[in-house]
Amino acid sequence: MSVIRNILNSRSSKGGNFFNILTEILGFKPKALTHYKKAFTHRSLNRKDEEGNAINFERMEFLGDAMLSAVVASHLFKAVPGGNEGYLTKMRSKVVSRKHLNELGKDLGLIKHVQTNIPIEQFGVNIHGNLFEALVGAIYLDRGYKYCKRFIHERVIDPYVDIEQLEGKVISYKSLVIEWCQKEKKEFDYEVYEDTGNDELKHFAVKLRINRRVVAKARATSKKKAEEKASKRAYYALQNKIE
């Protein structure tokens, strides 16, 4: 009776529109909307359950991240029987990279359904990927592993996972440069300093030195982005040596 009651409640006029939206996004009908509502609830609402536990998408995001990794790992394990642990780990990282998850969340328009006290314009770009992971976590709690795996295959693996393309895809130029420097026993350092210039937004400038020689410079709105941009320029400048 409780299962039937949940299904009927999910189809009520109060949640009917949300039910239809979810059905379109998921490709199947959800059973318990409660999980999905948590997946779209931002911590700024400061909601709590009867036991005083916080209600927001962050715990669901944690679960979804684990399910994504498990399903993608299983697929790669079967698809590349000759791949060793290091190879498979790198390939999985490319599939579930933050940039890729953000693109998936954007494509599904998940941010339109988030409940928050903060203007959507103030969210960083990672909100899209966070919501996607939270949605995966909600699917697992609602319909179990079978439906969760099906959703990940339809939305992530089938349309985007091409082994040959993934092998040539770089997810972090900084990691490549650092690995090469360590392998070749070369000294390296990133000198970061503020450089706002005439821009309204705060910028950071980075100099990448290898063996005390500046090999690349870059500017960006964050230290991390500036370091990655400088690393990319260094990679292409030293590509023949690195590869």
CATH superfamily of 2-166: Ribonuclease III domain (1.10.1520.10)
Question: How does pLDDT run across 95-141, given as a tens digit for each residue?
Answer: 888 888 999 999 999 999 999 999 988 888 899 999 999 999 999 99
- For residue 155, pLDDT beyond 50: yes
List the binding residues: 61, 130, 133
| 11 pLDDT above the threshold of 70 | no
Annotation says 107 is catalytic: no
Q: In DSSP terms, which residues pair with 130 in a beta bridge?
A: none
Position 199 scores a pLDDT of: 59
Average pLDDT over residues 197-213: 80
pLDDT tens, 139-154? 999 999 999 999 999 9
- The reported pLDDT for the residue numbered 98 is 87
Nearest CA to 156 out of 74, 53, 233 is that of 74
> Mean pLDDT across the stretch 81-93?
86
Report pLDDT for 166.
72
Q: Among the options 50, 133, 142, 191, which is catalytic?
A: 133
CATH 3.30.160.20 corresponds to the domain 173-242: yes
* Sequence-ordered list of residues with C-beta below 8 angstroms from that of 180, at least 6 positions apart, any chain: 186, 238, 241, 242
Beta strands 188-194 and 204-210, pairing class: antiparallel
Residues 6 or more apart whose CB falls under 8 angstroms from that of 32 comprise 6, 10, 141, 142
Mean local confidence (pLDDT), 21-44? 94
**Residue 95 and residue 72 in contact, taking contact as beta carbons nearer than 8 Å:** yes
Q: Where in the chain is the domain with CATH 1.10.1520.10?
A: 2-166
Among residues 24, 50, 65, 195, the one annotated as catalytic is 65
Can you give the pLDDT at residue 41?
95
Q: Among 72, 63, 64, which residue's Cα sits nearest to residue 91?
A: 72
Q: Where in the chain is the domain with CATH 3.30.160.20?
A: 173-242
User: What residues are designated binding site for Mg(2+)?
Assistant: 61, 130, 133
Catalytic, 142? Answer: no
- pLDDT score of 4 more than 60: no
Provide mean pLDDT across the span 53-72.
95
**Per-chain mean pLDDT for the chain:** 85
Q: What is the pLDDT of residue 243?
A: 63
pLDDT at 84: 87
Q: Model-level pTM?
A: 0.68
- Both structure tokens of 89: 């780990």
Q: Cα 186 vs. chain centroid, distance in angstroms?
A: 32
Whether the per-residue pLDDT at 2 is higher than 50: the answer is no
Asked if residue 14 has pLDDT above 60, the reply is no
The pLDDT, as a whole number, for residue 135 is 97
